[in-house]
Amino acid sequence: MTAGTLLEVSHASKVFDVSPPWLARTLARQPRLLLHAVHDVSFSIRRGETLGLVGESGCGKSTVARLVIGLYKLSAGTITYEGHKIGALASGRIPRALRRKLQMIFQDPYASLNPRWRVADIVAEPIHAQRLVRGRRAIGARVDALLSQVGLAAADGQKYPHQFSGGQRQRISIARALASEPEFLACDEPTSALDVSVQAQVLNLMRDLQRELGLTYLFISHNLAVVHHVADRVGVMYLGRIVEIADKATLFRHPQHPYTRMLLDAIPDVAMSGESRIPVAGEVPNPLSPPSGCAFHPRCPFANERCRREVPQLGESPDVAALGAHDRVACHAVEERRLGSETRVRESPRKVVSDPT
């Protein structure tokens, strides 16, 4: 493990058994149904860095976040945090010292807070569980400090979650996540359920907190524009595998994998008004019965026989001049140099707008 690496995920896999109940299965003579949600995923995150994971539904990015945090057990592979192996342990058995360093922010601001608890109790729960601070007054003071750190008032602690808007609830979630003084935050689509202007507030807040507290983020999203804004490095997932992982600027300017290129083309970006696109056909296949070989081959204009047979491995791209040393892509066409390199240049729409702030 290189110095500065905080989290290392190595050949992680997660398989869910979604078979119908035993009796139904036996009577209907059906085989077990296994869902390979995450397959052979490897990446590392350095301290203070933000890794963005993008992909569409069924790609497994949320599962990866939960594996890293310890909510799911690994089916194969290892996850190492600061040198300690986690991931094969159920969440209950991660040592307390490590437990508090890894926290999560969830997507749904309405389901991530217990509607029957007061906000102050919600934020104080990790403090109690970790026994970081003792004494009612001290805990109360810490809760007030956390609330103001995320832009809420101390008096808000006495209210219930339903009295807050979606954006404010996400702030409460962030305050709760910060209560245990974590180093690493997995953020599972934290702004997807929020309005655009509220999303801006929350993203700015998260950036400020990262600077202030030296946090490391794993940021999951299906929204490429958001990931472009927050991440340092970006990984693209498709049907349980990472197909490309690179430095942000590189990925958005010189996308290698055909799926990445397709995703970038598909963004309805304000900068593209007036330009027509040719969207790629087809839909994400059913994860229960993935295509053979490379999962993307049915939709890929560059697929050949090898793509149908062999699963491509994450490797370095031959076009090293354009890429950084740690950038990887899993594609036969790239490896065989069948793909022309492309540069994407986009015009910012913001030239004329005056920034009010």
Interacting positions 146-165 with another protein (CB under 8 A): 165
Closer residue to another protein (CB): 34 or 266: 266
Q: How many residues bind another protein (CB under 8 A)?
A: 91
Residue 135: which residues within 8 A CB-CB, separation 6 or more? none
Cα dist from 177 to 99, 126, 127, 182, 276, whole Å = 12, 8, 10, 7, 43
Measured over the CA atoms of residue 222, residue 13, residue 98 and residue 235, the dihedral's sign is: negative
Between 3 and 196, CB nearer to another protein: 196
- In the numeric block, the tokens 């907190």 are attached to 209
CA distances from 42 to 8, 150, 161, 281, 330 (A): 8, 33, 37, 29, 12
Which of 107, 83, 109, 108 minimizes the C-alpha distance to 95? 83
Among the residue ranges 5-13, 36-44, 137-145, 346-354, the one whose residues contact another protein (CB under 8 A):
346-354
Minimum Å gap between C-beta 149 and another protein is: 16
Name the one residue in this structure whose structure tokens are 């793509």. 307
| Interatomic CA distance for residues 229 and 248, integer angstroms | 9
List binders of another protein among 235-294 (CB under 8 A). 252, 262-277, 279-281, 283-284
Our CB check for another protein shows the closer of 272 and 311 to be 272
CB of 228 to another protein, least distance (A): 5
Q: Is 279 exposed, middle or buried (0-12, 13-18, 19+ CB in 10 A)?
A: exposed
* Binding string, residues 102-131; x marks residues near another protein by CB under 8 A: xxx-xxx--xxxxxxx----x--xx--xx-
Which tokens hold the place of 30?
Answer: 């059906």
Sign of CA dihedral 325, 329, 330, 331: negative
Residue whose CB is less far from another protein, 2 or 276: 276
Q: CB-wise, 82 or 125, nearer to another protein? A: 125
Q: How far is the CB of 120 from another protein (least distance, A)?
A: 14
- CB closer to another protein, 82 vs 121: 121
Interaxial angle between packed helices 136-149 and 166-178, expressed in degrees from 0 to 180 and rounded to the nearest 10? 130
Span of 34-42, 76-84, 172-180, 302-310 interacting with another protein by CB under 8 A: 172-180
Please provide residue 205's backbone torsions phi and psi, each rounded to the nearest 5 degrees: -60, -45
Binding mask 19-48 for another protein (x = CB under 8 A): ------------------------------
User: Which residue in the set 83, 92, 321, 325 belongs to the binding site for another protein (CB under 8 A)?
Assistant: 92
Task: Kindly state the smallest distance separating residue 352's Cβ from another protein, in Å.
Answer: 4
Site string for another protein, 50-79 (x = CB under 8 A): ------xx-----------xxx--------
